[in-house]
Amino acid sequence: MRALTLIADRQLELRDVAPPAPPAAGEVQVRVKALALNHLDLWGFRGMAFAKRQMPQIVGVEASGEIAALGPDVTSFRVGQPVVMYGGKTCGVCKACIEGRDNLCENVAGIMGFHVNGFARDLVNMPARLVVPVPNGVSLRDAACAPIAFATVQHMLFDNAKLRPGETILVQAGGSGIGTVAIKMAKAVGCTVITTVGDDEKAAKAKALGADHVINYNTERFETLTRKLTNKKGVDVVFEHVGGEGFNGSLLVLKRGGRLVTCGSTAGPSVTLNLMQLFQQQYKIFGSFGATLQNIRDSLAKMANGLTPVIDLEVPLAEFERGLARIESRKVFGKVIVTF
Ligand SMILES: [Zn+2]
């Protein structure tokens, strides 16, 4: 079978490898059908000096597929059933896992496709516990965006920031994979959405997705415009994943007591915080990473109800790198899918 393997920084090789053994007790074997690409794939591909990683490594952090075989005691799935996989190798027995908060697992063995072997291969054995059925009417292409892109946003907006209907939210970098999902999810619950994008073409696309106000951050100051759009009150929630120099601007546009939730730092990981502003304005800042299995189930249910991902580009497995280049170029609007 095929396995797309990272052999050194920025060096991928499509290898022919032995298929996995039949699934053991508690496991299922999944035939991978689609991957969705994330910034995490890009970081892994470029190399991260401080990350403890297995090399060489099979890439692919987010995927969907079909059940190919069942472990001897597994009765909750059937062969041929469409599924998605949870990408964190969590223990399943610690307090956090038992409470359904897998992204806070105390003994996590790593993120698949980043720390340990991932999903860019024809067949993969998984603990049945980490596999989620795809409901009727959801394509495997769309479902591939559930475990990270959709579930991360679901976790950020609703578990952490506790976004409520009628609130106003600023979605930073609305054209990105998770930005497009955030716009759609916030609109679906009746929020007013302000979003930032880097060019006018993306602005039109963000508008078409339902964003109420779109700001081109290269030609306008989002801080000034957001305050103007909210009659100087500021927004209830900021959806952040950019970091860098814009982070303080994101705090500045919050109303008193507002919530900022972040899951990324694509423009830089370090910022200087004004603590006086933080406590006087009673801001709440949430760091968010990954998602729970329930977030994945909820995401798939939203897809079944018509809240589908925006797909920018589909490439075959052999052109995985072209997909990454699309994300790196920042021309991307929505998700990049790798098909098998
Ligand atoms: Zn655990």
Q: Structure tokens of 207? A: 């508008």
Give me ligand 1 centre to Cα 120, in Å: 24
Summary mean pLDDT of the chain = 96
Give me ligand 1 centre to Cα 275, in Å: 34
Give me ligand 1 centre to Cα 9, in Å: 30
Q: Round to whole Å and give the CA distance between 197 and 208.
A: 13
Say yes or no to pLDDT of 50 above 90.
no
Q: Round to whole Å and give the CA distance between 16 and 257.
A: 55
pLDDT tens readout for residues 61-108: 999 999 999 999 999 999 999 999 999 999 999 999 999 999 999 999
What pLDDT, on the 0 to 100 scale, is given for residue 55?
Answer: 87
What pLDDT, on the 0 to 100 scale, is given for residue 47?
Answer: 85
Question: What is the enclosing helix (H) or strand (E) of 98?
Answer: helix 95-98
Q: Round to whole Å and give the CA distance between 11 and 45.
A: 8
Q: Give, as one character, the DSSP assignment of residue 107.
A: T
- Please, which pLDDT band fits residue 54 given cuts at 50, 70 and 90? confident
| Overall average pLDDT of the 121-147 stretch | 98
What pLDDT, on the 0 to 100 scale, is given for residue 330?
Answer: 82
Q: How many Cα atoms within 13 Å fall on the side-chain side of residue 272?
A: 1
Give me ligand 1 centre to Cα 130, in Å: 12
Give me ligand 1 centre to Cα 86, in Å: 13
- Please, which pLDDT band fits residue 224 given cuts at 50, 70 and 90? very high
Give me ligand 1 centre to Cα 106, in Å: 5
Global pTM value? 0.96
Are 244 and 267 within 8 A, CB to CB?
A: yes
- Please, which pLDDT band fits residue 17 given cuts at 50, 70 and 90? very high
Q: Around Cβ 180, how many Cβ atoms within 10 Å?
A: 30
Give me ligand 1 centre to Cα 291, in Å: 13
What pLDDT, on the 0 to 100 scale, is given for residue 123?
Answer: 98
What pLDDT, on the 0 to 100 scale, is given for residue 233?
Answer: 96
- Please, which pLDDT band fits residue 295 given cuts at 50, 70 and 90? very high
Give me ligand 1 centre to Cα 108, in Å: 6
